[in-house]
Structure 1
Amino acid sequence: MIQLPVQYTTVIHQIDGWVIKVKMNHPLTPQQHGDFQAFMRELGIPFQPDMRLQMAFWSLDTGQSPIDVMRRYQVAVVSHGHPDKTDIEAFRQQFTMGLGYCPETLA
């Protein structure tokens, strides 16, 4: 995939799956936008977050710490900033260890 001007990515886990927000440094060309949307649709379903999640994203966007956001909005912020696969894998392993099995939404 062509490099996109990603400023940061936020990953939040909910019981029914992952919610991912990608913020770009600048607007994409129509071709990049279409390619990016197609790629994201292959990974999941477009999702309009409820007000609680919108406020959590906004709080992270304005520089509040992920810990404060998790406490205030009762969400599991797995990663915020430069995407880090190790953060997501560590979350998955800890969550799975606590349950004793790996739910389909974490596979």
Structure 2
Amino acid sequence: MDYMFFLANASLTLRVVEYLRKIPRLPVKFVTVIHQIDGWVVKVKMATPITPEQHGDFRAFMYELGIPYHPEVRMQMALWSLETGQSVIDVMRRYQVAVVSHGSPDSSDIEAFRQQFTRGLGYCPETLA
């Protein structure tokens, strides 16, 4: 089962990643985090089906932080390429997307991206707050 949401900023994205790390009963196969100019796309793929209660709880949590995301074709292809094992660098080059993290939920990737992006700009855009 896949969940794909659009989040407004890095703080919300970090909350999702920390939530997934702290809930060991969720069978998370991988988490993909992509930064866009206007926000963040988070895709969570479960390794096995989850119970209706887990599904409801997780969806409720995600709806508190963001909105469901329905990707256009280019983003669908990028996400599919990552899922089939293509390298993150190749996917970023081919589809012109900023893949911040793919695999196990890892907040350090998001923090590092935020720091580097902000340092390069000299200020912190709203999406990186």
TM range (shorter): over 0.9
Task: Choose the corresponding residue for 1:89, options 95, 111, 117.
Answer: 111
Aligned partner letter, 1:20: V
User: Shift of residue 27 of structure 1?
Assistant: 1.1
User: Any unmatched runs of 5+ in structure 1?
Assistant: none
Q: Give the superposition deviation at 1:74.
A: 0.1
Aligned length: 107
Specify the alignment match of 1:47 in structure 2. Answer: 69
SS at match of 1:45: strand
TM-score (norm 1): 0.96
1:61 partner amino acid: E
Q: CA deviation at 1:90?
A: 0.2
Corresponding residue for 1:30?
Answer: 52
Runs of 4+ deviating beyond 2 Å: none
Residue 66 (structure 1) aligned to one of 71, 83, 88: 88
Instruction: Give the AA of the match of 1:33.
Output: H
What residue is the counterpart of 2:33 in the other structure? 11
